[in-house]
Amino acid sequence: MNLDNIVRGFVAESRELLDGMERDLLAAESATLDAETLNSIFRAAHTIKGGAGLFGLPHVVAFTHLVESVLDALRDGRATLDSELVALLLSCRDFIGLLIDSAEAGEVSPKEEQAQVGRELLEQLRAYLPTLAEPGSEPPTPAAESPSIVAGDPLLAPIASNHWHISLRFGPDVLRGGMDPLSFIRYLSSLGTISGIVTVFDQMPSAEQMDPESCYLGFEIALSSEADKTTLESVFDFVRDSSSIRILPPNSRIAEFTKLIAELPEAADRLGEILQRCGTLTERELDAALAVQQAELPIARPLGEILIQRGSVHPEVVEAALAKQQLVIDHGRSQENRTIRVDSDKLDRLINLVGELIISAASTEVVARRARMPELQACTATLSHLVEEVRDSALQLRMVKIGSTFNRFQRVVHDVSRATGKDIALVVNGEETELDKTVVEQLGDPLLHLVRNAMDHGIESGELREQRGKPTRGTVKLNAFHDSGNIVIEVSDDGGGLRCDKIRAKAVERGLIEATAELSENEIFSLIFEPGFSTAEQVTDLSGRGVGMDVVKRNITALRGSVSIASQEGIGTTVTVRLPLTLAIINGFLVGLGNAVFVLPLDVIEECVELSAEPAHDYTNLRGQLLPFIRLRELFGIEGTPGPRQNIVIVKHGATRAGLVVDTLLGEFQTVIKPLNKMFNQVKCINGSSILGSGEVALILDVPTLVRQAAQVSTNN
């Protein structure tokens, strides 16, 4: 195992934990804080602290430790969670993320500006620390938390030592896994004071048998620390499965050390000497433990057996509890093995290879048809079917749920609400909707601007909403769903809506339209996407400079998507974004125009009918309904005379249908999308290309643009 891979794993896990921490904090602010949510937040901070200590990031450990202290106070009921504390903990979460990013970049210590931010946050956190304990009170010791059992049993007599005893025996593969045993000792020293340590080499073989890459180290450690056992156990998370780790709390009973001596591989008298050198056991306590061990007396009886002997519980109850505990452990192990992390670059390469495989399979099918060999055609048919299954499986690997993107905006709404003084709630639907990870990665910024725009421009102030008879709390909604092979994302608000007269006046003022121009409501709304267009009367930190909506449209168009606006004055606004599910491979439908071949996405096609219309007309009667169409041969300037029988391919985009007139229908085709060169970026109605089995290039038609153009022609006529 490479150490760099381990560090990347730590960074990735930390980011996931921070995302969960943010989600839980926001949920805790808007609802009653329950113990499970609070424990989840605490575990996230605790796990990050443990990993940071292992990788030599003491500044992360120190900062996160103080965050843990405040969270621990919340768990004990000695502090109360309010909006101010939530905001502070969210800032701490951001700062930890900043430190993790710096660590990923190779910075093992914070920069001065980062350190200053950290000091300010620590100062605010310390304001909550005086409430952690009453003056003069003592924190409970681990021994005090242990159940009080029968007095007078020599096995249950506590030792005098008030420090933790940690017994380590590292596995032979620890060094091969990139772990440094001394790093664990260094991290332990950051949690307290190591008052005694003895290195154990007893398992070292002879020089002839020794493997220089294997680890034979062991340690017996006496540690004075206020940390709990869970914290100490987390230090060894990365080697827990391959090593032997035993941790005994302060004031443990002699029976527990007797059990420790019996379980360790070294001789009893040798272990006794080590425990005494550590300062864990006195000479008298050591003699008692060895005497018990040598006499083969019962050692450290399980709590269940003691409770049964005392008559506290029935044996059946203990058996059921142990069975349930083992079931939970087994279930946890099975869950851990269900998923694996895969580098996104590897997935991208897999998709590229699958694309080349599809093109090669199509070429093989062409050759088989030309050869007119039934056996070869049967084989190519089987190959095509298998390639299609491989394609679907590979694409499914790249599909991710959009909920992770939506959840990011809970924090945005929280922060903007505090900044603007508005009471705004975010409602999310369709989190389970899946789409290509590449689309998700590039969708974040456009959606961020739309959400912030809705809060700043759309939602009115609480006073104005009350005057208009609305609830003082405004609502921004995010909704995602599938439609005709696309994913549709709606960003809506219940604010004041858009004013057509105001948008039109601003457009005339800027020279975008003539004062006498007749525009539909949708055309007026589309003016918002013009560069620099803004009707905001006041520039804020969030919006109003007119540098956002044009970028939103450009980014969405780059993803082969479209964006539209619907609004009602006084009721609210909805921005609809429509995107393809994937940018790599689609099911296509081939059509011919003369000698040229074009591809249509199969998901947008409703049906194909024979052309029946007057020569000068751009519409036809389809079962009693008027259907506008575009003659693609005229649109693309293809020379030659069309055949005697042309066809109309009826496509749908959103709620609009249109027809595309083509010469021939060539059937379905697995289409590998190849981007066009930058010099073709200004070409309209085309948004990609593909390679046919014959080696020829087929252009992929931009259906949304064609549908809009057909609808516009129909309106003008």
- Average pLDDT, stretch 492-503? 89
Please say if the pLDDT value at position 154 is more than 50: no
β-pairing, 619-622 with 244-248? Answer: unpaired
Q: What is the pLDDT of residues 226-268, one digit of tens each?
A: 888 888 888 888 888 888 888 888 877 766 777 777 778 777 6
Residues 410 and 461 in one domain: yes
CA dihedral 256, 259, 261, 265 (to 10 degrees): -140
Helix, strand, coil shares of the chain, percent, nearest 5, are: 50, 20, 30
pLDDT interval class at 544 (50, 70, 90): very low
Q: What is the pLDDT of residues 13-40, one digit of tens each?
A: 888 889 888 888 888 877 667 778 888 8
Q: Which of 208-212, 315-319, 458-462, 643-647 has the lowest mean pLDDT?
A: 315-319
Residues 361 and 421 in one domain: no
DSSP string, 482-542: EETTEEEEEEEE-S----HHHHHHHHHHTTSS-TT----HHHHHHGGGSTT----SS--SS
Q: Which two tokens stand for residue 57?
A: 């990031």
Q: What is the pLDDT of residues 640-683, one digit of tens each?
A: 888 788 899 999 887 788 999 999 999 888 888 887 777 776 77
Which strand (E) or helix (H) includes residue 179? none
Residues 246 and 258 in one domain: yes
162 occurs within a structural domain: yes
Residues 364 and 256 in one domain: no
Residues 573 and 611 in one domain: no
Note the pLDDT of residue 28: 81
Note the pLDDT of residue 715: 62
Q: What is the pLDDT of residues 109-149, one digit of tens each?
A: 778 888 888 888 888 888 887 544 433 333 333 333 333 32
Residues 382 and 421 in one domain: no
Note the pLDDT of residue 479: 93
pLDDT interval class at 591 (50, 70, 90): very high
pLDDT interval class at 185 (50, 70, 90): confident
580, 601, 621 - which closes a domain: 580
Residues 518 and 635 in one domain: no
488 occurs within a structural domain: yes
pLDDT interval class at 547 (50, 70, 90): very low
The C-alpha angle 584, 588, 591, rounded to 5 degrees, equals 135
Question: What's the mean per-residue pLDDT of the chain?
Answer: 79
66 occurs within a structural domain: yes
Please say if the pLDDT value at position 152 is more than 50: no
Nearest to 592 by CA among 486, 664, 524, 533: 664
Q: Which two tokens stand for residue 377?
A: 């055609």
CATH number of the domain at 428, please.
Answer: 3.30.565.10
Range among 36-50, 81-95, 521-535 with highest mean pLDDT value = 81-95
CA atoms 346, 352, 357, 358: torsion sign = positive
327 occurs within a structural domain: no
Length of the chain equals 717
CATH number of the domain at 86, please.
Answer: 1.20.120.160
| Residue 372: count of CB within 10 angstroms of its CB | 8
Note the pLDDT of residue 598: 93
Residues 419 and 558 in one domain: yes
Residues 396 and 406 in one domain: no
Residues 413 and 561 in one domain: yes
pLDDT interval class at 492 (50, 70, 90): very high
Beta-ladder partners of 91: none
24 occurs within a structural domain: yes
pLDDT interval class at 599 (50, 70, 90): very high
CATH number of the domain at 176, please.
Answer: 3.30.70.260
Q: pTM, whole model, 2 decimals? A: 0.60
Note the pLDDT of residue 285: 63
CATH number of the domain at 362, please.
Answer: 1.10.287
134, 169, 197 - which closes a domain: 134
Beta-ladder partners of 373: none
Residue-range definition of the domain harbouring residue 170: 145-301
669 occurs within a structural domain: yes
Q: What is the pLDDT of residues 566-584, one digit of tens each?
A: 998 889 999 999 888 777 7
Residues 191 and 215 in one domain: yes
606 occurs within a structural domain: yes
580, 615, 639 - which closes a domain: 580
Note the pLDDT of residue 342: 76
Quote the number of domains for the chain.
5
677 occurs within a structural domain: yes
CA atoms 132, 138, 142, 148: torsion sign = negative
With a CB cutoff of 8 Å and minimum separation 6, the contacts of 15 are 97, 100
Please say if the pLDDT value at position 153 is more than 50: no
Please say if the pLDDT value at position 308 is more than 80: no
Residues 11 and 72 in one domain: yes
